[in-house]
Structure 1
């Protein structure tokens, strides 16, 4: 069963009846032959495990899948590869309603509560999909700490337990930003629990704040030679290289956020007007001028490298099945380019900071920098006042201060 080139009919057990249909769907979607073989191999392993443990197809819930992966970890270290192989298989089974949908999860009280919380965030709060995903993820961490049955644990929940949770999970946070994300999501969950009657007392106010002062940090931009080295990183002789260079130029010359680049669609490029429609924070649509250099890179990608597919996203994956890039993929493109440029792995936002710093040093006022970055709050732009070291140096006072002169003119 270890042979990747599985012949048809090689999958035995509960999933064997669906092998041919899975192969047909994967091939029709555009999966390469090797990818199809890998997925079918994982299907065979899962089906054999299900047969050994007496698991029927309808019982293949997330908790069961995690148990299968736990068993796989005992015989292999490549759990990540196993998860990637399982993804298309599980989507195939869900699409035919053979296993519970993703939203149902494992049917536990915690997951049912989180599903209601997700509906609340989408329907009542109207939050973006990425924000909802983040809040639910943090909410699962909080509820996982409750050792008793859910209704009993929530009835006994008090401010002390909330504070203890936040202190424990923010102590090793990677940054102030990640700690604040946990705090904000926890407050949101506690408000929901109180509104829905799960907890009798409003405990959102008990969540301690994270010490992080506005404008405390200095934006860290790259020097011009570093920017050019990053832009020269992708190999434009390949389709993926043409795409990656276009992505990096949009980041560097337009100052878009990584998620905004991922959200660009084919229809968002107005070639006649020389503009790009950007979907910013809060769902705002704004038109941004399209520089010649960026337009040239986009045209090269679209006419030479972009695969012919039905996906409406501007930037898509280089290999089938084709779908639009997400924020993580944009960050990965930036990371690879940094590696080729001999720089440490940096986030896509670093190019946004670099553009603002360059414009400010060229003599533009802060108001124009704010317009370029599409800031809705002027306070978000004032942090860039710190990056012009030459101007700041003229404001600095000598230290230590010279001793005051005596009345007769002699030194005191």
Structure 2
């Protein structure tokens, strides 16, 4: 007798049996395989039987109950003599608990009040008025959770001395890169407070500048030949070949950011006019022409490989549950894996920005103006685009002046 039939024979889930069937139907709707669904329902049936034997009512189920289930020494029916429950097994039970909570059967998890209630208003301000991405908003909130205990809750008492004191303390704890993100979050938060009349104005100017030699290094890029090898490496894949190819071509031919690709929706593709609609940083909306090879790659992916799911996103995961990329890092991972397949062992970087930089470098070397490159990259300032002018080393050598040596008095 296999494990699933044994569970059905020995384990009695009691009043939760109908909900286990609904749980299985919900997993099937998300395109899980029958084998995976059997694993989830076996865990759910065991969990329900343990609840009955422990005398725990359904409306008392919460995360603490799931932890007790994970730690119990199993002597449940079915010949089990487990010393402990495996982590994978109890995670499935936790998934069932979450399903019950969403259905209103189990107790909803308690919301812990934030020790800094103004952060909720600040988060809304960033989203509505500043147009920041959810990833940036989450990072700002995380940094401020660490900073604000040193400031206290009396925002009207904040002054320049306190701001500088806290920043100096944190500068001794972390490196320059992390310190830049922390001071950026604090500067933004102080502007929010000042705008709402909750602290003195211009306190953001009291934050010391973190030393950073802006645009001091050469841009990181691949040659056109290496990029062709990276894209061609997609043919080595058996699963996800068309998706990876479409993603890489978008990064290379249109110089998109990872977030642009991850957030691309089916409605953003204007096939009749051959245009692509994008929402970039700070919600700036632009329309870009869709090259033929990129459009062909996207169509091939949608028609032949993309799961048939009701998702607005163009690119979705290849395993159930099929959903859009939760983070732009999925796009960067696609680039990193393609570099490895192509045999490029020492690339200057491994993220999605590598192909974006390579596209800008290739345009400049082909004779494009800085204005044209800046338009494609969607830079607000031409100073940012000028960073790529440093890639033409032979031209720089022609205009570089020889070192004068010692000057005669």
TM-score band, normalised by the shorter chain? Answer: 0.7 to 0.9
Q: TM (normalized to structure 1)?
A: 0.76
Quote the residue 1:235 is aligned against.
235
Change (3 A) 1:179 1:340: farther
* Per-residue Cα deviation, 1:108-146 (whole angstroms, up to 9, x for no partner): 342755444433433555543333222222223335x66
Of 160-169 and 126-135, the range deviating more from structure 2? 160-169
Quote the residue 2:266 is aligned against.
266
Unaligned runs of 5+ in 2: 73-82
Deviation at 1:275, TM superposition (A): 2.0
Counterparts of 2:339 and 2:195, CA distance in 1: 47
**1:383 aligned to 379, 382, 387, which one?**
387
1:92 maps to 2:99: yes
Deviation at 1:190, TM superposition (A): 4.5
* Per-residue Cα deviation, 1:76-132 (whole angstroms, up to 9, x for no partner): 9x97x689757854653442244446xxx6423427554444334335555433332
1:332 maps to 2:337: no
Deviation at 1:242, TM superposition (A): 0.9
Counterparts of 2:193 and 2:58, CA distance in 1: 35
1:23 maps to 2:24: yes
Quote the residue 1:163 is aligned against.
167
- What are the equivalent positions in structure 2 for 1:29-178 lying under 5 Å apart? 29-40=30-41, 60=62, 64=64, 88-89=95-96, 91-97=98-104, 98-100=106-108, 106-110=111-115, 114-123=119-128, 125-143=130-148, 158-159=162-163, 162-164=166-168, 166-168=170-172, 170-171=174-175, 176=177, 178=178
Counterparts of 1:66 and 1:195, CA distance in 2: 45
Deviation at 1:358, TM superposition (A): 0.7
1:398 maps to 2:402: yes
1:358 maps to 2:362: yes
Change (3 A) 1:55 1:156: farther
Quote the residue 2:350 is aligned against.
346
1:288 maps to 2:278: no
Change (3 A) 1:282 1:311: same
* Per-residue Cα deviation, 1:254-280 (whole angstroms, up to 9, x for no partner): 100011011212222222322222222
Of 134-143 and 91-100, the range deviating more from structure 2? 91-100
Of 319-328 and 362-371, the range deviating more from structure 2? 319-328
Counterparts of 1:14 and 1:165, CA distance in 2: 57
Is the 8 Å Cα contact of residues 162 and 207 (structure 1) preserved in structure 2?
no
* Per-residue Cα deviation, 1:60-84 (whole angstroms, up to 9, x for no partner): 36xx599779979xx99x97x6897
Counterparts of 2:370 and 2:112, CA distance in 1: 52
Quote the residue 1:409 is aligned against.
none
Secondary structure of the structure 1 residue equivalent to 2:403: coil
Counterparts of 1:43 and 1:6, CA distance in 2: 14
Is the 8 Å Cα contact of residues 43 and 89 (structure 1) preserved in structure 2?
yes
Is the 8 Å Cα contact of residues 164 and 207 (structure 2) preserved in structure 1?
no
Change (3 A) 1:350 1:71: farther
Change (3 A) 1:86 1:263: farther
Is the 8 Å Cα contact of residues 66 and 90 (structure 2) preserved in structure 1?
no
Of 245-254 and 190-199, the range deviating more from structure 2? 190-199
Quote the residue 1:210 is aligned against.
210
* Per-residue Cα deviation, 1:328-381 (whole angstroms, up to 9, x for no partner): 221221121122122357000100000000111112111111112121221221
Counterparts of 1:399 and 1:70, CA distance in 2: 71
Counterparts of 1:155 and 1:22, CA distance in 2: 53
CA RMSD of aligned residues (A): 4.4
Counterparts of 1:194 and 1:44, CA distance in 2: 55
* Per-residue Cα deviation, 1:277-336 (whole angstroms, up to 9, x for no partner): 222222222221222221221222122112222112111222232222241221221121
Is the 8 Å Cα contact of residues 166 and 207 (structure 1) preserved in structure 2?
no
How many matched pairs? Answer: 389
Unaligned runs of 5+ in 1: 405-411
Counterparts of 1:196 and 1:302, CA distance in 2: 47
1:370 maps to 2:374: yes
Secondary structure of the structure 2 residue equivalent to 1:208: coil
